[in-house]
Amino acid sequence: MSARILIVDDDRVILELASIILRSDGYSVRTAGNGILALNLLAEEPFDLVLLDFMMPGKDGLEVLQEIKRDFPDIAVIIFTGMGSENIAVNAMKAGAADYIIKPFRNHDLLERTANVLRSRRLEMQNIELLAERERHLQEIQQWNMELERRVAEKSQELEAAQAEIIQAEKLTTLGHLAAGLTHEIRNPLNSINLFAQILKSDHAASPQSVEFLERIQSEIDRIDNLLIKLLGVSRRTQNRVDSLVEVHIVAEEVLKSFQPQFAAQQIQLQTEVNPTPAFYGDQEAVRQIFSNLISNALHSMSEGGELSLSVVSIQNSIQIKVSDNGCGIPLEHQARVFDPFFTTRTKGIGFGLSSVLRIIKTYKGKISLNSQPGKGTTFTVVLPLQMPVPVSVQEDPA
């Protein structure tokens, strides 16, 4: 496509002559007799080059040039000036003109300078396009780098989570072997101690104080046996069973009823929001353990009374459980370890409650989060997805 040129001059002879010369060389040419007409044409039609006379009535060439450079910066301008007006031409070049032609001009000079300016303009536009394309490529590269960093960070988090699960599984496996051995080795002497205590209690010659001491011995034996049962349960139950239709809100209400005596004894004010939830096939006893352990954990933090709140709600395709207390809270340095087996800050207990909760939730592909402020209280939030593919586990018989 030929370049479009606008010739602006108040001399009709120059307009006609320049038009004939440029059209003969294949250019598309329009003309204007003054600066105002020229600016109107530039606003209406696209042009590549303006040949502009410097000396014109009304708006002179310099004023028109400044407006062209302001409103149409991509259009090149060549100034027409008379013989002996080189200083004017220099000022025009400083104002943005690409070149100047002294009148009267020869055909060859007009065509050569026009071709040179158009060539320079074409190269300049190509450079601008190349720079713009380069900038686009740089932005794309930056976006890809950001996306790559995001994916690497995401995969790193997944890898860390997988490694943590492997470590946790290895701990439970080791714990299982240890628990089985300990249970066998401890229960045998415990059974003997319990039997001898029962024999001594049956002795009519035993004093009331001796009977009381023997009953304490048997009570402590029962406590140790219960701890062993919990130890075995945590180490062996690595998967939940899918053996019943679970309605979480009903399980929550049943667990709350079982804790009523303890709530009363500790002067606990209870606030509940238990809404009906969709049922799913799963392990009802495992869900019961979630509530029992979280409530038990809350009660241990409120030895002198307090407030406990429990909520069960359906949110989109999941069930959300919240257990909050206004007890002593968990120190920041302990919060990262509360789900570790054996970790506990209490003098009594073996630290399996929260680790058991975490294990159950993970088998349901759920999540648990902790928000605690020392001296103000703790909130555990559990999210269980309703689509939970839970494998059936085979449990060993207790030792």
Name the residue among 40, 80, 41, 84 with its Cα closest to residue 60.
80
Instruction: Domains for the chain: give ranges and CATH numbers.
Output: 4-105 (3.40.50.2300), 241-385 (3.30.565.10)
pLDDT for the residue numbered 319: 93
Separation in Å, CA 82 to CA 11, 25, 56, 98: 12, 24, 12, 17
Alpha carbon 111 to chain centroid, angstroms: 63
pLDDT value of residue 90: 79
Pairing of strands 306-315, 318-325: antiparallel
Q: Quote the pLDDT of residue 191.
A: 81
Which pLDDT value is given to residue 280?
A: 82
Do 201 and 214 touch, CB atoms closer than 8 A?
yes
Q: How far apart are CA 34 and CA 59, in angstroms?
A: 8
Q: How far is CA 149 from the centre of its chain?
A: 13
DSSP state of 237: -
Q: Which residue has the tokens 């205590």?
A: 197
Look at residue 196 in the predicted model and tell me its pLDDT: 80
How far is CA 92 from each of CA 53, 88, 243, 279, rounded to the nearest angstrom?
11, 6, 92, 84
Q: How buried is residue 167: exposed, middle or buried, by Cβ count under 10 Å (0-12/13-18/19+)?
A: exposed
What residue type is assigned to position 159 of the chain?
A: L
Distance (Å, whole) CA 181 – CA 50: 98
By C-alpha distance, which of 180, 182, 237, 248 is closest to 358?
237
> Tell me, what's the pLDDT at 35?
92
Over its length of 399 residues, how does the chain's per-residue pLDDT go in tens digits? 689 999 999 999 999 999 999 999 999 999 999 999 999 999 999 999 999 998 888 888 889 999 999 999 999 999 998 765 677 777 888 889 999 898 888 999 999 999 999 999 899 888 988 999 999 999 999 999 999 999 999 999 988 878 877 776 676 677 666 666 767 677 778 888 888 888 888 877 778 888 888 888 888 888 777 767 666 665 555 445 566 788 999 999 999 998 898 889 899 999 999 999 888 888 888 898 899 989 988 998 888 889 999 999 998 889 999 999 998 888 888 877 787 766 665 555 555 678 888 888 888 889 999 999 888 899 999 999 986 544 434 343 333
Query: pTM of the full predicted structure?
Result: 0.47
